[in-house]
Amino acid sequence: MAPTRPGNKQPTAIKPPRDAGVNPGISEELLKTRAYFNRLKIRLGLGVLACFIIPHVLLSVYFHCQFTTALKKTGKINIEALAKSQRNIVDLFLREREMNLRNLFYSREFTPDPTDQKMLYFLQTLNHFSDAFVDVGFLNHLGVQTGYAGPFPALLNKNYRKEAWFSTLLAQEKDYVITNVYLGFRNKPHFTIAVKLTINNRVCIMRSTLDPDKFYMFLRSIGKVSEVETTLVNQAGTYQLVDPLKANVLERSTYLPPRDVPTGIYEIKDENGVMLTAHAWLTEAPWALIISQPLKIIHAQMYKTRNAMIINLSIITIFLALVIWITASRLMNRAQRIAEESIQLQTQLIHASKLASVGELATGVAHEINNPLAIITSTVGVVRDMLNPEFNLDSSPGAIVKELKTIESAAFRASRITRQLLDFGRKNEPKKEMHNINNILETVRHGLTKHRFDLADIKIETNYAQNLPDIKIDADQISQVFLNLLNNAEDAIKDKGTITISTDFDNEFVRVMIQDTGEGMPLERIKEIFNPFYTTKEAGKGTGLGLSISLGIINAMKGTIEVQSLPGKGSLFTISLPADTTKSDPKTNNHDRGEKR
């Protein structure tokens, strides 16, 4: 059971600092601070860099993907636009050739029975507009070529009625036809443009053949893009125009664009790699214009731009990361410098406090030693005067022995002071053995002179916990602590009063409470009672070392002392000792206990 507190008013409680007077090494504290800041620098630097780099990298990857997608889309749009543009140019070329041929019907030199001179004139007129025209012929309503000018005079009077293009032209409403490339009577690849006109209710036809090679050269001249292949295929997939280095006219193409898709673009893989291929069907002829370009050529500029962006972003990222790292390091260095200066200042203050304590200690020692020395000196003078006949004093042996006892008592007091001072300064390790606190308290209590408390009208009450475990302590030293506290309690009681000795156990600490109903102490006195040579007792009755020595003993046993006191009501000293020192960490336990209280 916990002891009752003295009085109803909240008493003043003080817990003296553990290891008071211990001087921690300056270098050790600074090393700990520097190690802490070094860890903090690394963690802060990595954290700041992670917060900067991760979003930066994610944004860079996102924009890079968007940029790559846009560039690829732009590449497809460009080559498709090129196919449409060339398709329109080829259509315009064929339309112009058809118009050149049609205009022959409406020239002043035209007659239904053109002579050779007029046919030659017509060919010269056609060649004036385009050198792709090879020859020109005029067919009557029976399909017989009655007029001809060109390098194949054997074609004069040839009957074209069985030619497919002739039948098509007569059957369709459109008055002209552009054929596929074929061999024909001349057995050489060419294609024909033919225009029909009805004269005197009879259909007559003006036709001309064009050279595919010169047509291909024209096609090359309009497509001056790096490594772009331009070909023309018909609906059957036969080459109409093609690079001679790749294939021959009238050979089958490996790629036939879908007829129902006017324009389109596809990625086709062949022996040269992935090719981006666009097609556009012509309107003037049943041909598809196909443009192919290696994907690596199309994306070359994109790759160049992408690499430049990656290099620039990497340089910017590294630069900003260095700026962040340097700035964070400077801030941390400044904080570390301030912390180290604070530690040094605190160390200087502790040193100054120690010097002040040493001065107080020296003053106390001098005062306590001077008192018995003054008694000895004065008593020696008294003895000297007793032996001088001039003073006629009592110099009997009994009187001299009495004075000598006074000298002896003062010498013993000085000796006791010096011995306690040595005990205070000596750091003896406690001799710990398993003891029961209740037994030690009973030994101390019985060791006190009983009639001493009876004469002072002081009652001693005990309230021992029955479940106290044995703990490892130094029995002699802990007995000295209990004796000091009981002596102080006796001195605090001026008239009659009560001293209560209690024990308690909470599965972790064994506690001893010594409570008195004496005069109590104000807060200012409580703060001083553990300082060496601080005493409020009469001169010669106390040295002021008892509580200081007791605090050192309890600290050495990894325990604590708490004081609660109220002026006029009494004081309570609580000693806490760890129940199992093998499991106790003194610093951790003190910290935990301080928080609980």
The domain that holds 511 is classified in CATH as 3.30.565.10
**pLDDT tens digit string along 558-583?**
889 999 998 888 999 999 999 874 44
- pLDDT exceeds cutoff 90 at 280: yes
- Judge if 202 and 304 occupy the same domain: yes
- pLDDT exceeds cutoff 60 at 587: no
Report the Cα 118 to chain-centroid distance in Å. 91
- Judge if 244 and 100 occupy the same domain: yes
- pLDDT exceeds cutoff 80 at 385: yes
Per the CB < 8 A criterion, the answer to whether 421 and 365 are in contact is yes
Residue 568 lies in a domain: yes
Residue 561 lies in a domain: yes
Angle between helices 212-222 and 26-102 (to 10 degrees): 140
Last residue in a domain, options 305, 337, 369: 337
- Judge if 152 and 275 occupy the same domain: yes
**pLDDT tens digit string along 468-499?**
899 988 888 888 888 888 888 888 888 888 99
- Using CA atoms, how far apart are residues 238 and 215, in angstroms rounded to an integer? 16
The predicted structure's pLDDT at residue 21? 41
- Using CA atoms, how far apart are residues 32 and 410, in angstroms rounded to an integer? 51
Per the CB < 8 A criterion, the answer to whether 157 and 168 are in contact is no
- Across the range 313-342, mean pLDDT stands at 85
- The residues facing 462 across adjacent strands are 501
- pLDDT exceeds cutoff 50 at 189: yes
* Residues in CB range of 432: below 8 A, 6 or more apart: 472, 473, 474, 557, 581
Number of domains the chain is built from: 2
The predicted structure's pLDDT at residue 421? 67
Show the tokens assigned to 283. Answer: 């309107």
- Judge if 327 and 435 occupy the same domain: no
Show the tokens assigned to 462. Answer: 């005990």
The SS3 assignment for 191 reads strand
Domain that holds residue 92: 38-337
- Using CA atoms, how far apart are residues 525 and 87, in angstroms rounded to an integer? 109
The predicted structure's pLDDT at residue 27? 59
SS (H, E, C) 141-159: CCCEEEEEECCCHHHCCCE
Q: What percent of the chain has pLDDT over 90?
A: 28
- Across the range 502-526, mean pLDDT stands at 90
Cβ neighbours around 574 below 10 Å, total: 21
**pLDDT tens digit string along 203-233?**
999 999 999 888 888 888 876 655 788 899 9
Residue 470 lies in a domain: yes
Last residue in a domain, options 309, 337, 365: 337
- Using CA atoms, how far apart are residues 87 and 231, in angstroms rounded to an integer? 11
Name the maximum alpha-carbon separation found in the chain: 192
- Across the range 365-370, mean pLDDT stands at 74
Residue 112 lies in a domain: yes
Q: Among 424, 517, 539, 515, which residue's Cα sits nearest to residue 477?
A: 424
Q: Which of 403-407, 424-428, 455-459 has the lowest mean pLDDT?
A: 424-428
Question: What's the alpha-carbon Rg for the chain, to the nearest Å?
Answer: 61
Residue 595 lies in a domain: no
- Judge if 83 and 230 occupy the same domain: yes
Show the tokens assigned to 365. Answer: 């020692």
Q: Exposed e or buried b for every residue in 73-106, given b needs 16+ CB within 10 A? A: eebbeebbebbbebbebbbebbeebbebbbbbee
- Using CA atoms, how far apart are residues 139 and 161, in angstroms rounded to an integer? 10
Residue 355 lies in a domain: no
Residue 201 lies in a domain: yes
Beta-sheet pairing, 497-505 with 458-463: parallel
The end-to-end CA distance of the chain, in Å, is 17
The predicted structure's pLDDT at residue 313? 82
C-alpha pair distances (Å), 226 with each of 230, 293, 298, 410 = 12, 8, 9, 120
Q: Which has more pLDDT, 579 or 139? A: 139
Residue 330 lies in a domain: yes
- Judge if 299 and 440 occupy the same domain: no
Name the average pLDDT for the chain: 82
- Using CA atoms, how far apart are residues 406 and 136, in angstroms rounded to an integer? 162
- pLDDT exceeds cutoff 60 at 64: yes
DSSP states along 287-342: EEEEEEEEHHHHTHHHHHHHHHHHHHHHHHHHHHHHHHHHHHHHHHHHHHHHHHHH
CATH of the domain at 323: 3.30.450.20
- Using CA atoms, how far apart are residues 240 and 232, in angstroms rounded to an integer? 5
C-alpha pair distances (Å), 322 with each of 52, 314, 317, 334, 509 = 11, 12, 9, 18, 54
Show the tokens assigned to 567. Answer: 């002026």
- Across the range 67-81, mean pLDDT stands at 84
The predicted structure's pLDDT at residue 43? 84
- pLDDT exceeds cutoff 80 at 596: no
- pLDDT exceeds cutoff 90 at 26: no
Per the CB < 8 A criterion, the answer to whether 9 and 569 are in contact is yes
Q: Among 246, 249, 261, which residue's Cα sits nearest to residue 292?
A: 246
Side-chain half-sphere of 166: how many Cα atoms within 13 Å? 21
- Using CA atoms, how far apart are residues 133 and 127, in angstroms rounded to an integer? 6
Amino acid identity, residue 371?
N
**pLDDT tens digit string along 435-447?**
999 999 888 887 6
